[in-house]
Structure 1
Amino acid sequence: MQNDRSKCGLTEQGKGIYVDLIPKDMYVWYEDNWQHDEHEHLHARSQLTFVEEGYQYFHLDRNIYLVPKNHVIWIPSGLKHRVVSEASQVKLMVVLFKSDLENSFFQDIHVFPAPAVLIEMLRYASKWNKLLTEDEEQAIFLKALQTSLPNFCKESNYLQIPVPGDQRLLSVCNYINNHYTINLKIEELAAQSTLSIRTLQRLFKKETGITLKKYIQLIRVLKSIELIDTKQHTLSEIGFMVGYKSLAAFTASYYSIMRNHPNRKY
């Protein structure tokens, strides 16, 4: 049996050190109120995480991935990751697979909105929560779910926050994260980086794949998702809190990133 100190179905043997004592090929772990410890860990299983309530930030390599409500993330085996969230409640399911199928999809990280059929499949699979014994139906059902994942995936690249390796660019990102509520000028950002405006813009696009303007927009929209989750503010208030002067400007920016309109039921 597993103890109370576990993560993704793994048993903790030391701070941030987890071992896989599960004999099964596939394992379901459902948590009604996820508690984060933010320790980095890895395991020799691929991982599908479905966020049913709240949101999570996954730190993987040099990127941060936001997984909001009703989204899933696929993480190949052997990748170090840590998870953080300030959501009031995180309800999620983790499905761990020891073996992957012959498809390039399973070798990369993917974040995408879960279609209705996948959500229902995952909810059905919750009946095997933390089951350690073999179950024929579970094995067949989860293999079918795994097989269908590439067909369900409509990639959400907009939920990936690039983290540059250049310290000068990293200082700019940190500045944006701390001042996204105000009208940021390119001159301010160049001063933070000690680079010329032209050099900053060129290097930032080269390292992150997006422009500074797009990065600011991305941070504002992702921060708005956190505020929407609190259920304490109107959309107009949230738009103002993340740096927009009108609800129309906020909703247009939100839609350009998230491909849907913001709402309190997000």
Structure 2
Amino acid sequence: MQNDIVKCGLTEQTDSRFEDTIEKEAYVWCEKSWKHDDHEHAHQRSQLTFVEEGYQYFHIDQKIYLVPQYHVIWIPSGKAHRITSEAQTVNLMVFLFKTVFDDDFYQNVHVFAVPAVLKEMLLYASKWNQLIKEDEEQDLFLKAILKSLPNFCRENSYLEIPVPSDVRLIPVCNSINSNFKYNLNTDELAEKAQMSVRSLQRNFKSETGITLQKYLQLVRILKSIELIDTGQYTLSQIAYKVGYQSLSAFTSSYHLIMKAKPKVKKLS
């Protein structure tokens, strides 16, 4: 008989859903060097994930959300999601809530940088790691975090990689993802989509909410985050590798999307 797989205190069922036998309203689950499966799953607790080190991609509803270090993602209850990462080390803190407050915020996916106050609150809560027994201080503290999330949220929608539902646009996205070092060739992309350049630009913006150029910029910055995480390159080398002709152009583009300047790790 196969042993049940327990993740974050929840027991995984054969249909990639989880059985919740924990009575607590909320609890925290931390792991170093987080290991994850790449299959989609869902559970009936709302989830706040804080990336303490590394980065994660969350695949939800035809979108790919990047959650870099010191960012959080809020995932509503019952929302199917899949996570992937190429980071060398991923340290996560996962907060699971049985019930939430009556606010539209809690019904949608959000990704945002963690303000200093929230970061300290999340790190303080790590002392209750995997504690599923009743604890009054923990319950009140986690409820305070939950209540404050809408005010802390400074959502950056450009950390999402949208996936168009129009199948004609998938080869366009694949081409940009494979050739992000080079400038856009809209004629070639239009040929891949079997439509005119004008139709391609219009349909792509309608399907994804962003322009082809913005999509390319987003892909480049996400690739740069992966390269920064390796600690093997200078910022100038990374800028060149992802298609920028100068460090200043890369830094400006990075800041526009990430709302912070890129910082390289020490070379290994």
TM-score bracket, normalised by the shorter chain, equals over 0.9
Alignment partner of 2:200: what SS?
A: helix
Q: How many angstroms apart in 2 are the aligned matches of 1:174 and 1:6?
A: 35
Q: How many angstroms apart in 1 are the aligned matches of 2:256 and 2:20?
A: 41
**Aligned residue in 1 for 2:123:** 123
Q: Offset of 1:241 from its aligned partner? A: 0.7
C-alpha contact (below 8 Å) 2:49/2:72 kept by paired residues: yes
Q: How many angstroms apart in 1 are the aligned matches of 2:198 and 2:67?
A: 33
C-alpha contact (below 8 Å) 2:50/2:72 kept by paired residues: yes
Amino acid of the structure 1 residue aligned with 2:94: V
Gaps of at least 5 residues in structure 2 are none
Q: How many angstroms apart in 2 are the aligned matches of 1:198 and 1:41?
A: 39
Amino acid of the structure 1 residue aligned with 2:34: W
Gaps of at least 5 residues in structure 1 are none
Q: How many angstroms apart in 2 are the aligned matches of 1:34 and 1:247?
A: 33
Alignment partner of 2:245: what SS?
A: coil
The question of 1:252 aligning with 2:216 is answered no
Counting aligned pairs with the same residue, the percent is: 62
1:78-97 matched pairs, under 5 angstroms = 78-97=78-97
Count of aligned residue pairs for this structure pair:
264
The question of 1:162 aligning with 2:162 is answered yes
Amino acid of the structure 2 residue aligned with 1:88: Q
1:61-76 matched pairs, under 5 angstroms = 61-76=61-76
Q: How many angstroms apart in 1 are the aligned matches of 2:71 and 2:6?
A: 23
The question of 1:203 aligning with 2:193 is answered no
**Aligned residue in 2 for 1:262:** 262
Q: Offset of 1:108 from its aligned partner? A: 1.0
Q: How many angstroms apart in 2 are the aligned matches of 1:125 and 1:24?
A: 15
Amino acid of the structure 1 residue aligned with 2:5: R
Q: Deviations over 1:83-123 (max 9, x none)?
A: 00010000010000000001111111111000111111111
Q: How many angstroms apart in 2 are the aligned matches of 1:223 and 1:111?
A: 18
Q: How many angstroms apart in 1 are the aligned matches of 2:41 and 2:165?
A: 21
Q: How many angstroms apart in 2 are the aligned matches of 1:265 and 1:241?
A: 16
Alignment partner of 1:204: what SS?
A: helix
The question of 1:24 aligning with 2:24 is answered yes
Q: How many angstroms apart in 1 are the aligned matches of 2:251 and 2:49?
A: 28
Q: How many angstroms apart in 2 are the aligned matches of 1:240 and 1:59?
A: 28
Q: Offset of 1:183 from its aligned partner? A: 2.4
Cα RMSD after superposing both structures: 1.5
**Aligned residue in 2 for 1:187:** 187
* Stretches (4+) displaced over 2 A: 3-9, 12-18
Alignment partner of 1:191: what SS?
A: helix
Q: How many angstroms apart in 2 are the aligned matches of 1:253 and 1:98?
A: 39
Q: Offset of 1:9 from its aligned partner? A: 2.9
C-alpha contact (below 8 Å) 2:32/2:90 kept by paired residues: yes
Q: Offset of 1:258 from its aligned partner? A: 1.4
Alignment partner of 1:14: what SS?
A: coil
Q: How many angstroms apart in 2 are the aligned matches of 1:7 and 1:240?
A: 40
Q: Offset of 1:251 from its aligned partner? A: 1.1
Q: How many angstroms apart in 1 are the aligned matches of 2:78 and 2:222?
A: 27
Q: How many angstroms apart in 1 are the aligned matches of 2:219 and 2:210?
A: 12
**Aligned residue in 2 for 1:50:** 50
Q: Offset of 1:15 from its aligned partner? A: 6.9
1:193-232 matched pairs, under 5 angstroms = 193-232=193-232
Amino acid of the structure 2 residue aligned with 1:179: N
Q: Offset of 1:4 from its aligned partner? A: 8.4
Alignment partner of 1:89: what SS?
A: coil
Q: How many angstroms apart in 2 are the aligned matches of 1:218 and 1:156?
A: 12
- Of the structure 1 ranges 10-19 and 68-77, higher mean CA displacement relative to structure 2 is found in 10-19
Q: Offset of 1:12 from its aligned partner? A: 2.4
TM-score by length of structure 2 reads: 0.95
Q: Offset of 1:6 from its aligned partner? A: 2.9
